[in-house]
Chain A
Amino acid sequence: MFAIVLVLTAVFLGLYALGTDRAFQEVAEFEQDPTFQAVDERTLAGATLLGLAMFGTLFLGAVLAVFLTHAVVRGDAERGLLQPLVVRPLGRTTLLGARFLAAAAVCGLYAAGLFAATAGITYWTGSWWPDRFWLPAAELAAAAVVVCMLSLLGSVFLSATANGIAVFMLVGAGIVGGLLGQIGAALDSETLVDVAEKASWALPFEALYQDALHAISSESFGLTGELLQLGPFGGAQSAGDALWPWVVGYLALAGGVAALAFGRKDL
């Protein structure tokens, strides 16, 4: 399982390095052209490429999160792995909490590390560094943790396979919601923006991802900033100060429901 994630990560980083190197070589040619003087080509390319990498980071972080938590309760119970543990004096809530903390730590560190690696590759190939580093790293880590919690909650009710499919569908739905928001902002459609906003609050990993996208180019203004916001990987707007309290509350609520349901479940 971990080997699959490591292989995917290595392939991803290798392809990203190759892609960014080629892209910045093209950018170097545009920089000499006076037609594009109003646009910071390097920032536009760097932010867009890093935004793409952040999309990949979110996806790989979600893959790892699901791998680690999709079978915590029902899947492991069906295989007979859970019962020998639950009958110990440990307590079900402690067991569930421990599994979540372990998975969240691994996924969070993985997502932050992958972001750092892609930021480093972007700087190495194109000499571009994001406007903010630690906030988007923390937000991508938190997004992976949210996916962990959703998968853990689903594992109480669903079989391993069903839970994995359901969580990936949720991740996809969240990402599509975010893209709808980008399109809505570009087309000035309040309906699309409203749908995207609701999806972001219902699935806060998407809100964290969008806010991280906004953060990497938050100090880009003028035509460059407008072009970035219109792009698929440019965060149109910040989520605001309520994001982190909402994420913490969301995790607490989902965790509470999972613990309560697990405590009542017949194994």
Chain B
Amino acid sequence: MRDDDARTRGRRLDLRPNDLREHEVAERATCLPALEPVLCDDAFRPRARVQPVQSLEPVNAREPVAGPAALLGRDEVPGEHAGVLLGEAEAADPFDDLLQHAAPYSNGVPAALQTRALAKRYGTIEALRGVELEVGEGELVGLLGPNGAGKSTLVKIAVGLVHATRGEATVCGAPAGSGAARASLGYLAELFRFPGWYSADEVLLLHQRLAGSGGGEAERTELLRLVGLLDARRRKVDAMSKGMQQRLGIAQALVGSPRLLLLDEPTSALDPAGRRTVRRLLEELRARGVAVLLNSHLLSEVELVCDRVVIITGGSVVAAGTPAELSRARGVEIETAAGLREFPDATRDDAPRLVAELVAAGQRIYEVRVRRTSLEETYLHAVGEDAT
């Protein structure tokens, strides 16, 4: 069975419309009832869920096929296929429309970050499998995924630390890793250090020189003020707490007024006050038109601040959209004197009618809640961990 024609993740079977050999078709067909086949394009980008058939049937490809379909198997006669014909199914699961990749912008302005079929292989391990991603100017995108999903690899390719195996990545129109690209971005690594004998001011001065920034002391003062380290500008890095070093790292990433900021777990070492500081900073940057790609495990932080969220697992994008798009209505809850009443199929628009009916029935109403799926629920479903 050739792995490059199909891929199984959990209960989902991703199929490309490539030909398989007949014995592989039989293997796939026996697996189909236990799996959820998903029709993909050549880069394993999901296009539609399909309804599996229960048995192997011969198919004549010359006959018109309605809707998206995948043909498995091929015999030696051109134009004819022996195999399983899969047709399009209606979406029944409220999470079904998560199967979308991060759609590219097409307004003619180079995106702050753009990747096309980006892949990276480390030996036998595929860290990235054809990732398509865009971060527009002034957009704040959150990148989520479990450990080993490929988030850091994607960010490292964008900043030029890692070389892609296939595909391409551009930063503000320039190839990732080029001098022009590196001049446009600021980066905070997940694991970083500064020389311990440097003061905060000296670290920023060094990075001003490396970035060719003419901001001088005024820029350093402003950046230290932004991250709340102005009073500690003469303090040595060795004498700083981890949280202070993290904030200094954010400040160095902002040296030279980058157009794209890539932050890898920027709030991991920060207390709640520090996280709020960073959130406000990110909002201010967005207002200034700086694009941000935020790699984080803290779903609550991402949900609060990001314009769009991209969920990546196993090296592929499995869901993308705004937090509102990724959350779905999950009914209405009404707290009454008799207890909690749940209406799982109701929407926000049904709430007034439901309240009126309950009141008419003599019920006392204390609270009405329109339930929506949280980003955490969406994330766990997308990465296939919601059953655990």
Contact = CB atoms under 8 A, between A and B. Distances in A.
Interface of A: 79-81, 83-91, 264, 266-267
A85 B183 CA distance: 12
B10 interface: no
Contact of B195 (A81, A87, A91): A81
B25 to A, nearest CB: 39
Contact of A81 (B163, B183, B194): B194
Given A83-B189, A89-B212, 11 more contacts: A80-B189, A83-B161, A84-B187, A84-B189, A84-B249, A86-B160, A86-B161, A87-B159, A87-B160, A266-B122, A267-B156
B47 interface: no
B211 interface: yes
Given A80-B193, A84-B187, A90 B162 contact: no
Contacts of A85: 210
B248 to A, nearest CB: 11
Contact of B192 (A84, A88, A90, A91): A84
A interface majority secondary structure: loop
A91 B160 contact: no
B179 interface: yes
A36 B162 CA distance: 70
Contacts of A80: 189, 191-193
Which among A86, A87, A266 has the greatest number of chain B C-beta atoms within 10 A? A87
A29 B189 CA distance: 69
Contacts of A87: 159-161, 182, 185, 187
A86 B160 CA distance: 8
B212 A84 contact: no
B313 interface: no
B210 A88 contact: yes
Contacts of A91: 179
Contacts of B122: 266
Contacts of B194: 81, 84
A94 B207 CA distance: 15
A84 B255 CA distance: 12
A89 B186 CA distance: 11
Interface in B287-331: none
B interface majority secondary structure: mixed
Interface in B337-370: none
Contact of B182 (A79, A81, A88, A267): A88
A83 B159 CA distance: 10
Contacts of A267: 156, 161-162
Interface residues of B, number: 24
Contacts of A84: 187, 189, 192, 194, 207, 249, 252
Nearest 3 Cβ contacts at the A-B interface: A88-B210, A80-B193, A89-B183
A81 B206 CA distance: 13
Interface string B131-169: 000000000000000000000000010011111000000
Interface of B: 122, 156, 159-163, 179, 182-183, 185, 187, 189, 191-195, 207, 210-212, 249, 252
A90 B210 contact: yes
A89 B192 contact: no
A90 to B, nearest CB: 5
Nearest to A266: B162
A89 B161 contact: no
A217 to B, nearest CB: 44
Nearest to A263: B163
Contacts of A81: 192-195
B338 to A, nearest CB: 59
A79 B192 CA distance: 7
Contact of A89 (B156, B179, B191, B252): B179
A222 to B, nearest CB: 56
Contacts of B252: 84
B193 to A, nearest CB: 4
A205 B193 CA distance: 34
B211 A89 contact: yes
Contacts of B185: 87
A88 to B, nearest CB: 4
Given A84-B207, A88-B207, A79 B163 contact: no
A89 B195 contact: no
A80 B252 CA distance: 14
A84 B194 CA distance: 8
B156 to A, nearest CB: 7
A264 B193 CA distance: 23
Which among B161, B179, B185 has the greatest number of chain A C-beta atoms within 10 A? B161
B211 A88 contact: yes
A88 B208 CA distance: 10
A90 B211 CA distance: 7
A57 B211 CA distance: 39
Nearest to A76: B193
Contacts of A89: 179, 182-183, 210-212
Nearest to B161: A267
Contacts of B191: 80
B207 to A, nearest CB: 7
Contacts of B163: 264, 266
B355 to A, nearest CB: 56
A1 B310 CA distance: 46
A91 B180 CA distance: 11
Nearest to B162: A266
A258 to B, nearest CB: 17
A239 to B, nearest CB: 40
B161 A266 contact: yes
A263 B159 CA distance: 14
Contacts of B161: 83, 86-87, 266-267
Nearest to B191: A80
A62 B220 CA distance: 39
B160 A79 contact: no
A101 B180 CA distance: 26
B262 to A, nearest CB: 9
14 contacts: A79-B193, A80-B191, A81-B192, A81-B193, A81-B195, A83-B187, A84-B187, A84-B194, A85-B210, A87-B159, A87-B182, A89-B179, A89-B183, A89-B211
